[in-house]
Amino acid sequence: MSDPEPKEIQWSIHQTHPELVLNVRAKLSEVIDPEIGMSIVQLGLIRNVEIENEIARLKMILTTPFCPYGPAMIEMTKAKAVEGLNMPVTIEMGMEMWDFSMMEDPSALDWGMYA
């Protein structure tokens, strides 16, 4: 059985501002979840990026609701998004629960702990 192909998560800016996607993905990929050791982009924690009136809004979730690194990751995400988009950014925390299917490449998380 072969692993599914990695999928790039699509955000609203893929349609509205495609010229910004690569840069903001690169910057957001610098934010690493310290417990898992993977970027927030790989993990699928950035649920959406949209721009309205020259202000970006990121919808983000955490891998667990009470992640001890959450506040630091949110601040780092905001700073990297500002660098990548060159405009003001707000972070909106989503309420959905994270799971492995949200990852761009779930096979990258092959720790042997999950069936």
Place of tokens 């903001």: 24
Tally the C-alpha atoms within 13 A of residue 29's C-alpha that lie toward its C-beta: 11
Q: List strand residue ranges (DSSP E) for the chain, in order.
A: 32-33, 38-39, 46-52, 55-60, 89-93
Q: What's the mean pLDDT in 20-41?
A: 95
Supply the CATH number for residue 62's domain: 3.30.300.130
- pLDDT for 5 equals 62
Whole domain around residue 36: which residue ranges? 13-100
Give domain status of residue 115, yes or no: no
Q: What is the pLDDT of residues 33-89, one digit of tens each?
A: 998 899 999 999 999 999 999 999 999 999 998 889 999 999 999 999 999 999 999
Cα separation, 74 vs 64, whole angstroms: 13
Give domain status of residue 74, yes or no: yes
- Which pLDDT band, with edges at 50, 70 and 90, does 115 fall under? very low
- Which pLDDT band, with edges at 50, 70 and 90, does 109 fall under? low
Q: Give the SS3 label for residue 86.
A: coil
Note if the pTM is more than 0.85. Answer: yes
Q: Which residue has the higher pLDDT, 89 or 1?
A: 89
The conformational region for residue 44 under phi > 0 = left, psi -120 to 50 = alpha, else beta, is left
- pLDDT for 12 equals 97
> Domains in the chain: how many in total?
1
Q: State yes or no: pLDDT of 29 exceeds 90.
A: yes
